[in-house]
Amino acid sequence: MAKSKLIKVNHRIAEKLVSINNKIKYKVLGGYNKIEDKFVDQYLTKDDESIKDAKNRMKLENKRKMEE
């Protein structure tokens, strides 16, 4: 009987920890993406190019460099 109660409590604790971990992860990634977008917008865009287009261009350039 005691064993099953401990298992249930441990399971609830594990669920809460996973939930908290996911919230932290998404907050950190969201903040990183905002910083990355501002950097790309300010330093890497060319002549009315959108942030998305600049990121795609940079990916293609990096891919070409890796193939050489």
pLDDT digits (tens, 9 = 90+) for 11-42: 999 999 999 999 999 999 999 999 999 999 99
SS3 28: helix
Give the chain's end-to-end CA distance (angstroms, integer): 65
Cβ–Cβ under 8 Å, residues 54 and 44: yes
Residue position matching structure tokens 């996911």: 22
* pLDDT for the residue numbered 60: 96
> How much is the pLDDT for 66?
94
pLDDT for 36 equals: 96
Name the pTM for this structure.
Answer: 0.70
**The pLDDT value given to residue 1:** 55
**Which pLDDT does position 35 carry in this prediction?**
97
pLDDT at position 68: 83
